[in-house]
Amino acid sequence: MIDCDVHCDVPDVETLMPYLPRHWQERLRENRWSGPAGVRHCYPPAVAGDPIHDIGSLRERVLTADTEAAIVTCYYAVESLRHPDLTADLAAAVNRWLQAEWLEPEPRLRAALVVPTLYPEAAAAEIRRWEWTDRFVHVLLPVVAQRTFGSRFYWPLYEAAQERGFVIGLHFGGVSGGPPTATGWPTYYVEEAADMANIFQGHLLSLVAEGVVREFPNLRFTLLESGVTWLPTLLWRLDKMWKSYRREVPWIDRLPSEYLRNRIRLTTQPLDGPEDAQKTLSYLREMELEQLLLYSSDEPHIHGSSSLDVLGLLQPEQQKLVLAENARAWYGITEAA
Amino acid sequence: MARHNLGPVTDFPEGKQRLVEVEGRSIGVFNVRGRLYALRNKCPHQGGPLCAGRVIARLESDRPGEYRYSDQEFLIECPWHGWEFDLENGQSWFDPQRTRVRPYPVTVGPLPTKPTPGPYVAETFPLSVEEAYVFIEVGT
Amino acid sequence: MATTENAPGEAQQERPSGYRLIDCDIHHMLPSQATLMSYLSARWQRYHERFGPRRLLETQYWVTGTHVLAARVDAFPPSGLPPGSDLDFMRAQLLDEWGIEYGILNVSEVFMFGTQPGEYGAALIRAVNEFTAAEWLDPEPRLRAAVAITADNPDAAVAEIERWADDPRFVQVLMTLRNEAPMGDRKYWPIYRAAAAAGLPIAVHVGGINGHPPGGGGWHSYYFEMHAGHVQPYQAHTASLTLSGVFDAIPSLKIVFVEGGFSWIVPLSWRLDRLARTLREEIPALQRLPSEYIREHFWYTTQPIEEPDRDEQFHTMVAALDLHDRLLFATDYPHWDFDAPDRALPRSLTDEVRRKIFSGNAIALYGLPLAP
């Protein structure tokens, strides 16, 4: 199995201190900063599960004998800090911490690269800094953002990512300062979590409309913790819209769904199908979604069910693809000896 | 096939589009840069009055922000949903038949060749000019 | 040999013969500023002239698009009036052409005026409703209309609903898609109570200005993505309404999503149910699962019709939530993405379902009297 989305958390700000420049060591300690509030906002205790703070816990609780590889996501809400140096230095610190204390001791691990998404040039610099491009496999873009991800604003980041062979990882969560919906502040977490799918959708519209799929022909996107079953209706709408409005976006030279099916994959947790696993499977088949799936447990987050309930119903050939081979091809993960 | 005289060629000046009725069919006749085209006034999509739409030069682009107009290729844009059809042969510009990504291997890198034109075709009619009169051929 | 110059386009024949047709989304509009002025008091005429709307439609996306005023190219009346503002032309091109028995008007101006603030906003929207009654409903018995309101001014909205409640030609209340808060927010509940008391569904239509990027992840750059992105706010409202408890508090409340499509409701209902089940503790007062509220309280107009890769997928979506009884046919005249009654629905629909979508569901929802 290749688990494409597993979460670890920075236990406290002190953990990052060895990886931060002196200026921040002093200032953050002086101000007794306890870390970004955005992490708990996106994953309150009711859904966060028991956070995983070190490699030992990960091995014990998540990695199994069957785990060939796992991609670790460390969300640290760096985008909630607007200071251009702090946001960039925090991102770099998280990456250094991941490399030293997770990737180095555990060869099965891969990781999402954290970047300062508010400053795409700085993000590009962070992307280009890394030699370990086979261990950091995608660039983490939490989807709650101030700009749609197709915007030319982000192109320096995409250029660097494409150049260095990174996939872009669009992930549930993020902090923008504004309401995470199209219609104002939600009342409940359940509501906000449900609405997150809309934000993924808006970014896909943007990636197509702005021509990112054309400008960066080798750039690929993984949608992490996004839900899966909402995708087809978006593709239909996109295709329908393109047939009418191609002349506004003439760089889109074929059906948007064709681009997207070629360039995106989605992790399986959560699938968001009906309660009946067989019905979910039927839907995935009818909508031709299986080939886009990458298995993920999303441990330790609480979803109420596991995608394995559905994936276990697949034919063995299909299971192999979703549980490991799709991810192997997508991320270039070479088979363990 | 029957041939009908639509009238003097001077009735079809450059830059104009006119509707005529032939054998019960509404047909749009266009003179674009001196060339004559005739299309059925009915869009294959939802039946809209295709020939009430605009004639536009083919617009293509190789990258975002670039807009490249053709001097020679013209399309009619349906006044309803804006679908584009080649004036010459009625071919819809895009492929409405999705080419599915099959079977399942991941392709890393640029997409393969562009899709072929699809089954949506607007009906066209051959025109000829003889001794300054425009003739149209309409099948039964 | 027959050459008839400038013959009108072949009549949109093959209208769905044998089917009654109710068009649940038509956009009429003010023919001019002068008309608007004639329905405003002197005070608001002056304000409108000297200051004007204070909430700006953030950008005119249609400017880079391919349809002027987002209208069908052939919907510009010969009178020179804007599309949808000429009743005679609308009669000919829409009502008579297609044999429409009833058409429900959702006034174009709500797009801009539905979220203008204060007394000025209330005055504008009242003027629009008066215009609708006088110049559309009075002369044309086939037409019905929505009471447009300024939802972010609930007191004014309630007053406006009560004003028109006894006029049976107003069949629903119209809110814009983008208000300051998601629709389940308690500030809107007095509006829902007033609508329910008057027996009027709440209709929601694309439009409004609330200062939030419509996608939630930033502002769109192109008309293409903005228009495709109309769907997301409807989903946010569904989440909000079904989790808010409003349907327990106001059991007769009905919601009509106009011009939002419908297939997205299926995966959304699954997502909402999963979250609601897993996180029961967050909303202990919620009595039922979101999908149950969805089944009972929501309707959807069909335009812009879903065009999936295969007809079977259309049926899968309709069947998943028994939407046969919930779809309301609409053309969206005079907009460019007009759905032609004879072509828009998949051919493979059964006769029974077709009848429901074309008229049966609307007749039941709006209580429309049928001609003998």
- Position C4 in a domain: no
Task: Pick the closest to residue A238 from A272, A196, A204, A288 (CA basis).
Answer: A204
Average pLDDT of every residue of chain C = 92
User: B90, B76 in Cβ contact below 8 A?
Assistant: no
C15 in a structural domain: no
Q: In this structure, which CATH number among 3.40.50.300, 3.40.50.10090, 2.102.10.10, 1.50.10.10 belongs to the domain B2-138? A: 2.102.10.10
Cα separation, A113 vs A141, whole angstroms:
9
**What CATH code is carried by the domain that includes residue C152?**
3.20.20.140
Residue B43 pLDDT > 50: yes
Task: Give dist(CA C327, CA C36) in Å, integer.
Answer: 34
Structure tokens at C145: 């209309």
Q: Rounded distance, CA C67 to CA C338, Å?
A: 12
Confidence band (pLDDT; 50, 70, 90) for B2? Answer: confident
Q: Above 60 in pLDDT, residue B140?
A: no
Mean pLDDT (chain A, rounded): 95
Residue range A5-34, pLDDT digits in tens: 999 999 999 999 999 999 999 999 999 999
- The 10s digit of each residue's pLDDT in C186-197 is 999 999 999 999
Residue C116 confidence (pLDDT) above 60: yes
Q: Which residue, among A161, A144, A175, has the nearest Cα to A78 in the 3D structure? A: A175
Query: Which tokens in the block code for residue A182?
Result: 């199209």
In the CATH scheme, what architecture does the domain A2-331 have? Alpha-Beta Barrel (3.20)
Give the model's pLDDT for residue B103: 21
CB contacts < 8 A, B to C, total: 77
**Domain ranges, residue C291:** 21-366
Between residues A240 and B93, which one has the greater pLDDT?
Answer: A240
On whether residue C13 sits in a domain, the answer given is no
Q: Cα(A255)–Cα(A233) distance, rounded to whole angstroms?
A: 14
Mutate which: B78, B108, B116, B120, vs A, most A CBs within 10 A:
B108
Spatial contact of A10 and A40, defined as CB atoms under 8 Å apart: no
Amino acid at A307: S
How many domains, in total, are found in chain C?
Answer: 1
What mean pLDDT value characterizes chain B?
A: 78
Among B21, B47, B80, the residue with its CB nearest the CB of C4 is B21
Strand B133-138 relative to strand B2-8, pairing: antiparallel
Q: How far apart are CA C19 and CA C228, in angstroms?
A: 31
Q: Rounded to an integer, what distance in angstroms lies between the CA atom of residue A171 and that of residue A175?
A: 12
With an 8 Å Cβ cutoff, are B111 and A258 in contact?
yes
pLDDT class of C17 with cuts at 50, 70, 90: low
Helix H or strand E segment including B21: strand B17-22
Query: What pLDDT does C16 receive?
Result: 62
Domain boundaries, chain A: 2-331
A217 and chain B in contact, CB less than 8 A:
yes
User: How many whole angstroms separate alpha carbon C113 and alpha carbon C54?
Assistant: 10
Chain A residues within 8 A of C114 when measuring between CB atoms: none
pLDDT value, residue C2: 34
Find chain C residues with C-beta within 8 A of A176's C-beta: 217
Residue C4 tokens read as: 């008839």
- In the predicted model, what is the mean pLDDT of residues A87-103? 97
How many Å lie between the alpha carbon of B108 and the closest alpha carbon of chain C?
A: 25
Angle formed at CA C353 by CA C350 and CA C358, multiple of 5 degrees: 120
Q: Does any CB of chain B come closer than 8 Å to the CB of residue C336?
A: yes
Count A/B contacts: CB-CB distance under 8 Å.
85
- pLDDT tens digits, A137-154: 999 999 999 999 999 999
**Which residue of C7, C12, C67 is in closest CB contact with B82?**
C67
- Return the exposure string of A5-18: e unless at least 16 CB atoms fall within 10 Å of the residue's CB, then b: bbbbbbeebebbee
Decide if C313 touches B, using CB distance below 8 A.
no
∠ CA C151-C153-C154, nearest 5°, is 75
Subunit partners of chain C (3 or more CB pairs within 8 A): A, B
Per-residue tokens: A279:
């019905």
* pLDDT attached to residue B108: 32
Nearest by CB to B111, from A249, A262, A326: name it.
A262
- Helices A277-286 and C311-320: angle between axes, nearest 10 degrees: 150
**Among A296-310, B78-92, C144-158, C194-208, the least confident range:** B78-92
Chain B residues whose beta carbon lies within 8 Å of the beta carbon of residue C12 = 47
Q: What percent of chain A has pLDDT over 90?
A: 94
Q: Cβ separation of A250 and B82 shorter than 8 Å?
A: no
pLDDT at site C8: 42
C61: number of Cβ within 10 Å? 18
- What distance in Å separates residue C69's CA from the closest CA in chain B? 13
Instruction: Quote the pLDDT of residue C298.
Output: 98
Percentage of chain B with pLDDT > 90? Answer: 25
Query: What pLDDT is recorded for position C58?
Result: 66
Q: Which residue is associated with the tokens 């200032």?
A: A27
| Averaged pLDDT, A168-180 | 95
Mean pLDDT calculated for residue range A240-244: 93
The verdict on a CB contact (< 8 Å) between C217 and A245 is: no
pLDDT for B106 equals: 28
At A213, the pLDDT band (50, 70, 90 cuts) reads very high
CA closest to A162 among chain B residues: B109
Q: Which carries the bigger pLDDT value, residue B103 or residue C321? A: C321
The answer to whether residues C78 and C139 touch, using CB atoms and an 8 Å cutoff, is no
**Residue B24 contacts by C-beta under 8 Å, 6 or more apart in sequence?**
none
Q: Is A329 part of the contact surface with chain B (CB cutoff 8 Å)?
A: yes
Residue B24's pLDDT band (cuts 50, 70, 90):
confident
Write the residue in C4, C9, C67 that is nearest to B52 by C-beta: C9
C5 within domain boundaries: no
Residue C351: band (very low, low, confident or very high) from pLDDT cuts 50, 70, 90: very high
Where does the pLDDT of residue A43 fall: very low under 50, low under 70, confident under 90, or very high at 90 and above? very high
Confidence of residue C5 (pLDDT cuts 50, 70, 90): very low
pLDDT grade for A214, boundaries at 50, 70 and 90: very high
**pLDDT the model gives residue C189:** 98
pLDDT in the model for residue B99: 30
Q: How far apart are CA C206 and CA C219, in angstroms?
A: 16
What mean pLDDT comes out for the span C280-289?
Answer: 95
CB contact under 8 Å between B42 and C10, yes or no, is yes
pLDDT tens digits along B49-98: 999 999 999 999 999 999 999 998 899 999 999 999 888 888 887 654 43
Residue A136, classed as helix, strand or coil, is strand
Taking residue A64's Cβ as centre, other Cβ atoms within 10 Å add up to: 11
The residue with greater pLDDT, C54 or C324, is: C324
User: Considering only alpha carbons, which residue of chain B is nearest residue C344?
Assistant: B46
Quote ipTM for the complex: 0.97
Which pLDDT band, with edges at 50, 70 and 90, does B118 fall under? low
pLDDT at A91 over 50: yes
Four-point Cα dihedral C270, C273, C275, C281, nearest 10: 180
pLDDT band, residue C214 (cuts 50/70/90)? confident
What per-residue confidence (pLDDT) applies to B23?
84
Please name which of A287, A298, A283, A295 lies closest in space to residue A325, comparing C-alpha atoms. Answer: A295
Predicted local confidence at residue C60, as pLDDT: 79
pLDDT at C335 over 80: yes
For residue C162, give the 3-state DSSP assignment. Answer: helix
C-alpha A116 chain-centroid distance: 14
Residue C63 within any structural domain of the chain: yes
In a domain, C320, yes or no: yes
Tell me whether residue C11 is in a domain: no
